[in-house]
Amino acid sequence: MPFKSPDALLPLTPVAFEILLALAEGDQHGYAILQMVESRLAGLLPLRTGTLYRSLARLLEDGLIEELDGDDRRRFYRLTTHGREVAALEAERLAGQVAAARARRLLPARKGRP
């Protein structure tokens, strides 16, 4: 199946983006991804196992991650080159939204910047 262009996959859902962030640190199994997301967001984005595995299936289908050979108990996942590109574009998109919020004084200005 040909990949969709990176722009066609944006915006990512918050869960999908968090999964890609977790996998940007290295190959992980599903439960480790769940723990990383929960640890980083401290309950701001509750993630249940069903939601995680549905999101993983979509990311696999879109070619953003790949499943690795694991053992019988765990499936391991890796961020693909295409997935890294899409995640970087999403990060840029979100950074633009944060910059707009700062410009409109919805967020405090960063130290040393207006």
pLDDT tens by residue, 34-71: 999 999 888 787 888 999 999 999 999 999 999 998 77
Q: Say how far apart CA 105 and CA 22 lie, in whole Å.
A: 30
Handedness of CA 62, 67, 72, 73 (dihedral sign): negative
H or E element, residue 79: strand 76-79
On whether residue 4 sits in a domain, the answer given is no
pTM for this prediction: 0.89
The answer, yes or no, to whether residue 114 has pLDDT greater than 60, is no
Cα gap 106→49, rounded to integer Å: 34
Q: How many domains does the chain have?
A: 1
Confidence of residue 96 (pLDDT cuts 50, 70, 90): very high
Q: Return d(Cα 40, Cα 48) in angstroms, integer.
A: 15
78 located within any domain: yes
Closest CA to 23 of 9, 46, 96, 15: 15
Provide the CATH number for the domain around residue 62. 1.10.10.10
pLDDT value, residue 113: 57
Domain range for 20 is 11-103
